[in-house]
Amino acid sequence: MMKFTVPAATIAVALFLSSTTAFSQTQTGDMAVSMTVAAECTIATEALAFGTVGIIDTNIDAEANLTVQCTSGSAYQISLDDGLGVGATTAARLLTNTATSDDVATYSLYQDASRTTVWGSTAGTNTVDSDAATGADEVITVYGRVDAGQNVATGTYQDTVVATITYGTGL
């Protein structure tokens, strides 16, 4: 019979390794992850240009686009103010001659291509409303018209209209 001798250090290492794996354990825990998405909208505008005209003997129509992007599902309203022309109203906005500021040409802005629904700033009455935005860019057309029969002096006529988007869950 043959006798083998195993050094004590080898036995100690073997016991240590076996005891380490024998006592390994794991624990798990749930980590909460959250995010709150608030209603948000952006609005971008294009210029509305009626072009170069002479005698205004027919209606002059033009279009421009507003690009709106809102958080998906958000309600919004888009209003257009009366512009900067002194005495302008929602139904009769004023382009003012930049050289004299005394001469004006009347124009209107509409929500529809047939130019029957004036676009204004009274929420729920003459604004463009949406109950649920798509989350993607939405292009909305503004239809403009300078009415025929106006006798205005030569020059460059301008106005600035502020487009405002109101949004949120309270609409």
Q: 90-101 pLDDT, tens per residue?
A: 999 999 999 988
Residue 35: how many other CB atoms lie within 10 Å: 4
Q: Is residue 122 part of a domain?
A: yes
What pLDDT does 142 receive? 98
| Entry pTM | 0.81
60: containing domain = 41-167
Tokens 């949004």, residue located:
167
pLDDT: is 3 or 33 the higher one? 33
| 13, pLDDT greater than 60 | no
Give CA–CA dist 126/91, Å, rounded: 11
pLDDT-above-70 percentage for the chain: 87
CATH of the domain at 62: 2.60.40.1570
Strand order in the sheet with 104-110: 41-45, 60-70, 138-146, 104-110, 93-97, 157-158
Question: What are the residues whose beta carbons fall under 8 Å from the beta carbon of 59, sequence distance 6 or more?
Answer: 145, 146, 147, 148
What pLDDT does 168 receive? 85
Q: Is residue 160 part of a domain?
A: yes
Q: Is residue 4 part of a domain?
A: no
Domain count, the chain: 1
pLDDT per residue over 114-128, tens digit each? 999 999 999 888 999
What pLDDT does 1 receive? 55
With beta carbons less than 8 A apart as the criterion, state whether 49 and 106 touch: no
What pLDDT does 18 receive? 52
What pLDDT does 124 receive? 81
DSSP secondary structure of 80-131: E---SSTT--SSSEEEEETTTSS-EEEEEEESSTTS-SB--SSTTTSSEEES
